[in-house]
Chain A
Amino acid sequence: MKDKTYEKLVIIITILGTISVAALLAYTVILYPDCSVISYIANKG
């Protein structure tokens, strides 16, 4: 694999990975205020 191709792949994976983690955290922040104690306990187990 050429170095340039490898570097591009590293950058793309890093960007996509960071976006996925950020999106998941943002979704969590959105869910948090509307979650009742009953739902939380049921989900947590």
Chain B
Amino acid sequence: MSKTAKQIISLLLLVSAFAVTDLAVWTLFTKNYINDTSPEMQARSVEVSRFLPFDESSEIVRTDDAEKLKGDLPRVDGAAALFPVYSAFVHALYPENSVIYENGSFAPDSPMQFRNTRGAYSALANKETDIIFVAQPSAEQLESMKKGGVDPVMVPIGCEAFVFIVSADNPVNDLSVDEVKAIYSGKITKWSEVGGNSRYIDAVQRNKGSGSRTAMTAFMGDVPMKRIPAFWYSGAIGYSFRYYVEGLAGNGKVKILSLNGVYPDKRSIADGSYPVSSFFYAVYDRNNKNENTEKFISFCLSDKGQRIIEESGYVPLPE
């Protein structure tokens, strides 16, 4: 082989090596993180602008015959998944124009804010808000509230299912509770062990302090979670709350699994047959002396409040 031919081959090999590296990075990492939702959804986990109170085009449930609160309006905050619910409460109870939302965010002095679960618990601990609408707190969040001198009163206002999701292409439709625990503790590592294909399982975790991570920790109980990295030839499983997946963030490319043969829908959540149903809460400080805070909570539990919860897509409290 001539020297020139060797040089050309070596150059082609060098180009190929970089091309293969680029392809590997794209396939294993980059393409997995492409988010096809709106920029607002990407930044805030919920499209706040679709669910604002006092907005004619808002998609919240409207109740216009409730008695409006007067005087010191409680500051409210909450989780992304519950934003449409507490926005509907604010619409029902607060005087029009009391909420200021400009340039994609709430004004600092607006009685309605959105900081998502971690931010809302932090705001309650720092006494920067009066009522938050969230899933159960983590041990750290309880400790943080205690340190801040907050004695949290957790009022269940509705029910929701904690769900497990996979790609719509995944042949698995059902897992048992024990199988999910085995997956998240690293004992089951391939989909073929639970009736699926031969791919490895990429068990996705959520941020600590998020409502779903706290719910997952409670679901696992004494079983320690262990993340087994599975970048190559793997299919993912994750967890969230039913309405967030179905109603707020669903893209048709993922599906919710049934657990122990029961699919999480309004009926199976209400009758308790779905194994991981839980309450969601309005949380306030027992030392909060604002009488409107109690009125707000009472409205959440009233027929009108429960109708808002049901029509927003959640399951109201059992009668």
Contact B34 A31 (CB under 8 A): yes
10 shortest interchain CB distances as A-B pairs: A17-B18, A42-B253, A31-B33, A34-B42, A44-B236, A35-B33, A37-B238, A41-B236, A39-B35, A28-B30
| Interface of chain A, main secondary structure | helix
Question: Interface residue count for A (Cβ, 8 Å)?
Answer: 29
Other 7 A-B pairs with CB < 8 A, given A16-B18, A41-B204? A1-B4, A9-B11, A38-B238, A41-B165, A44-B167, A45-B169, A45-B236
Q: Does B166 contact A (CB under 8 A)?
A: yes
Q: Which residue of B lies closest to A20 (CB)?
A: B22
Say whether, besides A10-B14, A17-B14, A21-B22, A40 and B33 are in contact (CB < 8 Å).
yes
Q: Does B202 contact A (CB under 8 A)?
A: yes
Contact B202 A44 (CB under 8 A): yes
Stretch at the interface among B58-66, B172-180, B243-251: B243-251
A-B contact count (CB 8 A): 112
Contact A39 B34 (CB under 8 A): yes
- Note all chain A residues with C-beta closer than 8 A to B214: none
The answer for the CA separation of A39 and B42 in the assembled complex, in Å, is 10
Q: Does B237 contact A (CB under 8 A)?
A: yes
Q: Does B17 contact A (CB under 8 A)?
A: yes
Q: Which of B230-266 contact A (CB under 8 A)?
A: 234-240, 245, 249-251, 253-254
